[in-house]
Structure 1
Amino acid sequence: MDHLYWDLGECATGAVFEIELRGSTARVCLMDGDEYQAYVDGDEYEFFGGFYDLTPVVLEVPYDDHWWLIVDSNPDRIRVAVNQVFD
């Protein structure tokens, strides 16, 4: 499965990430470790986020856990910057 990803590590409830997309629209997904593993395995999964064509995308961590950020897009056509703006 071709995707861009960032291991955000352990994040507390309310941590906020800002994602800047350039070059393409994309589906941006915030997932905990179990959901990310299901995504990689091709199983059903749940995520926070959605499909975005305007940036910046701002996502807030809903509960304490280890988090992953996934950007589904053509990696050759998109540039992504991720910044934590509140922890």
Structure 2
Amino acid sequence: MEHLYWDLGSRAGGACFEVELRGSAARVCLMDVDDYQAYLDGDEYEYYGGFFDVSPVVLEVPYDGYWYLVVDSNGRRVRVQFTEVFD
């Protein structure tokens, strides 16, 4: 399964990330460790986010844990920039 991903490490619930997509719409997801492994294994998984064709996208970490940011553009070329947003 082709996708882009970033290891965000341990994050507190409420942390926010702004994701900028260039070149294609994509599914942008925050996944915890277990769900990311299930995604890689082709098993059922849950994520926070969705399919976006307009950016920037802002995603909030729902609870304390270890997180991955995953971008799946279904094989289309996409450039991604993201930053953590602080209030």
TM-score (norm 1): 0.95
Percent of aligned positions that are identical:
70
Asked if the contact 1:21/1:78 (under 8 Å) is kept, the reply is: yes
Query: Is residue 40 of structure 1 aligned with residue 40 of structure 2?
Result: yes
After superposition, what is the alpha-carbon deviation per residue over 1:54-84, rounded to whole angstroms, capped at 9, x for unaligned? 0000000000000000000156611000100
Please identify runs of 4+ aligned residues in structure 1 that moved more than 2 A.
Answer: none
Which ranges in structure 2 are unaligned for 5 or more consecutive residues?
none
Q: Secondary structure in 2 aligned to 1:40? A: helix
Which ranges in structure 1 are unaligned for 5 or more consecutive residues?
none
Asked if the contact 2:24/2:76 (under 8 Å) is kept, the reply is: no
Q: CA separation in 1, counterparts of 2:76 and 2:28? A: 16
Show the counterpart of 1:26. 26
Q: CA separation in 1, counterparts of 2:76 and 2:41? A: 23
Root mean square deviation of aligned Cα: 1.4
| Matches for 1:8-87 after TM superposition, within 5 Å | 8-74=8-74, 77-86=77-86
Asked if the contact 1:4/1:75 (under 8 Å) is kept, the reply is: no
Q: CA separation in 2, counterparts of 1:8 and 1:75? A: 23
Q: CA separation in 2, counterparts of 1:21 and 1:64? A: 26
TM-score (norm 2): 0.95
Residues matched between the structures, number: 87
Q: Secondary structure in 2 aligned to 1:14? A: coil
